[in-house]
Chain A
Amino acid sequence: MKKRARKDSPLILLVDDFPDNREMYAQYLKFSGMRVAEASNGHEALDQAFQLHPDLIVMDLSLPAMDGWEATRRLKSDARTKDIPVVALTGHALEGFSKGAMEAGCDGFITKPCLPADLLEEIRTMLDRKDAGAAPANGR
């Protein structure tokens, strides 16, 4: 699997406290040729984000210690990480969760259950949009 992950392949930070889900997505994303970093709570997510500067963060909202909303707010308020797209991923389907997520600064919102293929699709869409949007800004 690691063989397939090249240096220029996108680095995705997966934040989820439930290991089965986190590792499932990680396995599928790696299988799909992406690099993956993992965090099981908000603090770890912040540490990883500052240290690795991933291309995209998939953030579960219900997290121990520091929840996804708080972590997203911090990421979006920090100049080093504010450009990283954050896709919220939550098992909460009730109204208000997506709204809260957007307010916290999430760029996308996915409700569980979400098949690994569907997540990959969303990630690719977000990355394409990021490249298109960033190109003029970076002057590339």
Chain B
Amino acid sequence: MSRIPAARLSSRFAPGGADAKARLGLLEALFVSDDAPECARRAVHWLGEHAGVAAAMVAAVNAEGTRLVRIADYGVAGQGDTELHVDLEDRRHPLVGALSAKQLGSSFSSGEVIGGFATAFERRPFAAMPLRTLDAMHERPIGLLLLAPVSAAEGQDVRWAAEILGQKLAQLHSSGVLADSERRLRREGTLLESIINAVSDPIMLTDTEGRLMIANSRAERLFAADEDQSEGRRRAVALNNMLFSSALSRSAFEDAESWRHELPLVDPLEGSDLLFELLSNVVTDPREGTGIVSVLRNITDLRRATEEIEENYRRIRIAEAEIRAERDRLDLVIDSVADPIVVTDPSGNIVLMNAPAERLFTVGRGGSEEQAQRVRANDAHFTSHISNLFFAGTGLRYSGTIALVDAETGVALPTEGLSGKILSEHGEVNAVVTILHDLTEAKERERLFEQLQHASGELEQKVREATAELSRQNELLRRQAFELEQASALKSQFLANMSHEFRTPLNAILGYTHMLLHGVTGKLTAGQRQNLSRVDSNGRHLLAIINDILDIARIEAGKMPLNVSAVAVPEMITEVMAEMDPIVVRSGLAVSVHLDPALRSVRTDRPKVKQIVLNLLGNALKFTPEGSVRIEARRARRNGEIAIAVTDTGIGIAEADHEKIFEDFRQADTSLTREYGGTGLGLSICRRLASMLGGRITVVSALGRGSTFTLTLPVREPS
């Protein structure tokens, strides 16, 4: 918009040649046009019509201020001739000089001005009037008004028009420069805007409080929302702004020109969580004040990717650890197997083996050449074994014997190799595992087994023989048992007969002696009576011996039956005392009986117990010259056994004879037998009877100190 100050205009409206209306028309035309050539054209035409100018031309300094360019003409030839321009650097050019001339007009002859201008004015003289502003401050050449005839340049209207045009052109010029720079600025602004919009990261200029001043479209998506947008989106935006300004305020404490933060935001459109890296720079402008330029870089995916990578890495590490542990375990397992295990790749190279295998396929440090040869031989045998796995069939396994040797000792190791292919997912052979089993032991076992079988066979034969022998022996034993049985029967018969055959003559001896002594055959002399008495006593002694021998024989032959009944011990002892009374009286000894009140009846064979007690009491009376005899019956508290003890103050028995007295036909002193009478079988029979009853007879005695014989009977009845 160009304007001419009103006061200046009015001052120029002095009455002149052209009427006011014509001048007003020009002013109006110039007022409505902003185009310099148009204004110049209007002005020169107005001069032609109103100021007696025959031909005119306007040459204006171009925008760059480098040239003088024809922009309008009137009544000149070669209209539009672009050659009509002058370089302003050419200071010798008359027109350049005219441009800076102080006076209002200079006239030039056609000879002075060369080039297009002269031609235009058809070599007529023309006047050149500098067009300039009236503003002294910004006075500078704007252009030239060239006109002919020269005289016209003196006219009031011409001067006025030149002044108006100069003013206008100056105005247009300056506004044109302004517009240019504005355009340039706007263009640059637009460019900048499109550049920052083209950046995929949100970029913002905010004040220090975080209020948005400039933002690219990405930033607007995050931080700006219109009223008509959804509630969720507006909230998300509000939240983002809050997060952003809190990040900025945190940054303010760091007292730095620029900083970097992670800023979690929400995607207002999708509601998803986003993570940005916030780079902020403080920019200080003298006019605009302090602001903060923030660039946000979306690292959501980056973070996710980082996390994924970390997670994957973690998993890989775990898997790696597991694999290592598995591998370690496998190694342990493989090493713990006593059989050699070898893992080979498909081309037969050993990739893994356990310790037992190493003894076959490796030479230890410092190993001899011999060992190396053995290992090579083992390798060869092993490789040929493996090749069987591939050539001998299509199976996954192959087993066969391999003749290996112990690398160290050279001892032959007959080995069974079991090889198996390990296939990949695609069915290719990945590896071959071979387990070698030492057959030495198996062969040894086989040998031992054969030996065992042989031995077993022999044993069987021996057992058969032994069995036959045993059955022979059995038969023999059976026969012997039968014979024994018969012998036993015969013995019993013999005993019965002996008893009868002894007694029958003894009966006659004793009977006749008895009759003679009783005077059946007449009176006897004193000598006859004495002799017959000797026959009688010896006959009776013989009978006693025969009776005792019979008892022993019956016990030994198992022909002495047990008749068990409830026996009241006190009554039985009383009975014994009554029977022995004549002998007791004759002995003149003090005989006492002591009975335990706790005594109960005991189940046993009454006659046999009585026989024992009679015998013990008889002995006591017999071997006690003076003093006393004591019979005591008691029941042991410990086990309930019944003990019947006969104690005397007699001659006693030396300890060495304590066993002897129980033997057959033995008395402590054989001479005593005759002195004291008795068969010498009494204690022997008593001990046998006590044993039959499940009891025992014990003796406590010392020579000259009397004796105690004790019969002990069990509580349980004898079987």
Contact = CB atoms under 8 A, between A and B. Distances in A.
Interface in A53-103: 62, 90-95
A112 B512 contact: no
B503 A25 contact: no
B511 interface: yes
B175 to A, nearest CB: 175
B85 interface: no
Interface residues on A, range: 20 to 34
Nearest to A25: B511
Given A112-B504, A113-B503, A95 B514 contact: no
Given A28-B520, A115-B510, A95 B561 contact: yes
Interface string B504-525: 1111101110110010100000
Given A31-B520, A94-B496, A115-B510, A24 B515 contact: yes
Interface string B682-693: 000000000000
Interface string A8-27: 00000000001011001101
Interface string A23-67: 011011001000000000000000000000000000000100000
Contacts of A116: 511, 514-515, 520
B511 A21 contact: yes
A62 B511 contact: no
A113 B515 contact: no
Given A21-B511, A28-B515, A94 B504 contact: no
A91 B511 contact: no
B512 A24 contact: yes
A31 B519 CA distance: 10
A139 to B, nearest CB: 39
Contacts of A18: 504, 508
A56 B694 CA distance: 45
Contacts of A95: 559, 561
B514 A91 contact: no
A112 B507 contact: yes
Contacts of B506: 112-113
A74 B113 CA distance: 214
A107 B511 CA distance: 23
Contacts of A91: 499-504, 507
B499 A94 contact: yes
B532 interface: no
Contacts of A31: 515, 520
A93 B499 contact: yes
A134 interface: no
Nearest to A94: B496
B495 interface: yes
Interface of A: 18, 20-21, 24-25, 27-28, 31, 62, 90-95, 111-117
21 contacts: A18-B504, A18-B508, A21-B507, A28-B520, A62-B500, A91-B499, A91-B500, A91-B501, A91-B507, A92-B499, A93-B499, A93-B550, A94-B495, A95-B561, A112-B503, A113-B507, A113-B511, A116-B511, A116-B520, A117-B514, A117-B518
